[in-house]
Amino acid sequence: MHITNISEAKATLSYLIKKVQETKEPIIIGRAGEPVAVISPYSKEDEPPRQLGGSWQGKVKISADFDEIDAEIADSFYNSRLIPE
């Protein structure tokens, strides 16, 4: 684990970010010898799943067959003259 001070971190931020990306190890930033912040690698897996909220909460329902399509409609769409081959 790398430890740096605020002045060095300001001067070498791009380098520190590149180092975090490559090593996947966090870097501690300190002030007056005390840790105050951490630069750590980002992972999408750390994000919680998006939740529906606000004024639409509880008002929207998606049917289980939402993305199913009738075979006749699909055939008329994909095999019509509107779609060139």
Separation between Cα atoms, residue 18 and residue 25, nearest integer Å: 11
pLDDT for 44: 82
What is the CATH architecture of 2-42? Answer: 3-Layer(aba) Sandwich (3.40)
pLDDT for 4: 93
Average pLDDT over residues 76-80: 80
- Give the start-to-end residue ranges of the domains of the chain: 2-42
User: Per DSSP, what are the bridge partners of residue 33?
Assistant: none
Q: Residue 84: is its pLDDT beyond 70?
A: no
Per-residue pLDDT of 27-59, as tens digits, reads 999 999 899 999 999 888 878 887 767 887 888
Percent of the chain with pLDDT over 70: 94
On whether the CB atoms of residues 16 and 7 are closer than 8 A, the answer is no
pLDDT for 27: 96
Amino acid of residue 41:
P
On whether the CB atoms of residues 39 and 29 are closer than 8 A, the answer is yes
Q: Are strands 27-31 and 34-39 parallel, antiparallel or unpaired?
A: antiparallel
